[in-house]
Chain A
Amino acid sequence: MKYSNQMKLTFSAVSENEPFARNTVAAFCLPLCPSVSEINDVKTAVSEAVTNCIVHGYGGNGGTITVIAELNCESVYITVSDNGCGIEDVARAREPFFTTLAEEERSGMGFTIIETFMEDVVVRSEKGKGTVVEMRKTFCGDLDKERATC
């Protein structure tokens, strides 16, 4: 039987929970023996997605964020979702340097970073109902290593 595992986090949409979210997901991935670079990619992508929920989804006015992570033999599948205001134009939001909050010194790089660091990034959003970001990371780690659990 192939290795699989799942976790689910639900937490308040406040920035102090960002380290908690990314470090928890990173720790959950450790059984797959990711490289340091790979785990940094996951942490950064989770941080970007959670920031989007806090800053754009809820506009800094609270709310709840859900993070689900699923492991299989060599990959982690991560879903970050909110029930906030949603994104009017997802394609535009995914353009590099696009931001609706330039006056707040936002770089507009969030989705670009997620897409660069992760694989199979899907963004689903409905105005007034929220946003779901799905992403995958395949861990190569040390390619010579046998994965004992698979």
Chain B
Amino acid sequence: MEIRYKKVKENLYIYLSGELDEYTATAVRSAVDGLLDRNVRANSVVFNLSGLTFMDSTGIGMLIGRYKKLKRIGVPVYLQSAPVSIEKILQLSGLYQVMPKI
């Protein structure tokens, strides 16, 4: 997994690339939380999923965990550019109801 980020006008964009599953989730969670902790004043956080080649329910759990963390400090979370292969699992999980697609 590769994680990159950029800030645009106090909005934090996090780019996830590779396979997000049980094997990689712990490292991703730790790296993303580090980024979030350093950017608690962000107006919003956007997860760009365009580089993901695989994601299962462990990835859903990871994203929900980050949503809960950011909700506590009032930062909205959005999802962006999910590949077709991952769109199905995002729709099924209802994740877009709390992390809207932009």
Assuming the contacts A44-B89, A105-B62, A109-B93, asked whether A19 and B57 have C-beta atoms less than 8 A apart, the reply is no
Contact with A along B42-80 (1 / 0, CB 8 A): 000000000000101110111011000000000000000
Q: Are B56 and A19 in contact (CB under 8 A)?
A: no
Contact of A113 among B29, B57, B64, B65 (CB under 8 A): B57
Q: Which residues of chain A have C-beta atoms less than 8 A from B92's C-beta?
A: 109, 112-113, 116
Question: Quick check: B22 and A36 within 8 Å, CB to CB?
Answer: no
How many A-B pairs fall under 8 Å by CB?
Answer: 65
Which partner residue on chain B sits nearest A20 by CB separation? B23
**How would you classify the secondary structure of chain A's contact residues: helix, strand, loop or mixed?**
helix
Q: Are B21 and A15 in contact (CB under 8 A)?
A: yes
Whether A113 touches B56, Cβ cut-off 8 Å, given contacts A37-B85, A105-B65, A106-B61, is yes
Task: Among A37, A47, A108, point to the contact of B56 (Cβ < 8 A).
Answer: A47
* Interfacial residues, chain A to chain B (CB-CB below 8 A): 15-16, 18-19, 22, 36-37, 40-41, 43-44, 47-48, 51, 54-55, 104-110, 112-113, 116-117
Task: Give B contacts to A, CB under 8 Å.
Answer: 19, 21-23, 29, 54, 56-58, 60-62, 64-65, 84-85, 88-89, 92-93
A19 to B1, CA, bound (A): 13
CB distance from A94 to the nearest CB of B (A): 13
Which of A104, A107, A116 is the one whose CB lies under 8 Å from B60? A107
Cα A37 to Cα B85 in complex, Å, equals: 7
Chosen A-B contacts, 25 in total, with CB atoms closer than 8 Å, are: A16-B23, A19-B19, A19-B21, A19-B54, A40-B85, A44-B54, A47-B22, A48-B56, A51-B21, A51-B56, A51-B58, A105-B61, A105-B64, A105-B65, A106-B57, A106-B58, A107-B58, A107-B64, A108-B57, A109-B92, A110-B56, A113-B56, A113-B92, A116-B92, A117-B88
